[in-house]
Structure 1
C-alpha cells in the first residue's frame, strides 16, 4: 500500500518554493517582515505533518500484520 500523501520529490520542490517565495513576498511588501517567519513555519508544519501522517502506524495495519 502506497502511503505518500505528497511524494518526496514534490515535498522537496515545495520546500524550495516556500523558502524562496516567502522572503520575496516580504521584500515586496505583500507580507510583513514580522509574519514571514510564521508563514515559513506554517509551510514546514504542513509539509512535515503530511509526511508524519502518511507514515504513522494505524490499528488496521497492525491487525493485518497479526493475521498474516
Structure 2
C-alpha cells in the first residue's frame, strides 16, 4: 500500500465517521447530541473560538495549501 493510497483511505474513513456522527443523533434520539449543538457548546467562550480558528488555520495551512 502506497502512502497516497493510505492517505485516501484515511480521508474516506474520517468522512464516513463524520457522516455517521451527524446522522446517528437523528436516527437514535438521545444517543448523541446533534453536531450543531456540540459545536455550539464547544465554542461557547472566546478562548475556545480562538483555539478552534487557530487549529482550523493550522490544518488548512499544513494539509490543504499546496
TM-score past 0.5 threshold: no
TM-score by length of 2: 0.37
User: Larger helix proportion, structure 1 or 2?
Assistant: 2
More RCO (CA 8 Å, sep 6+): 1
If you compute each CA radius of gyration, which structure gives the higher value, 1 or 2? 1
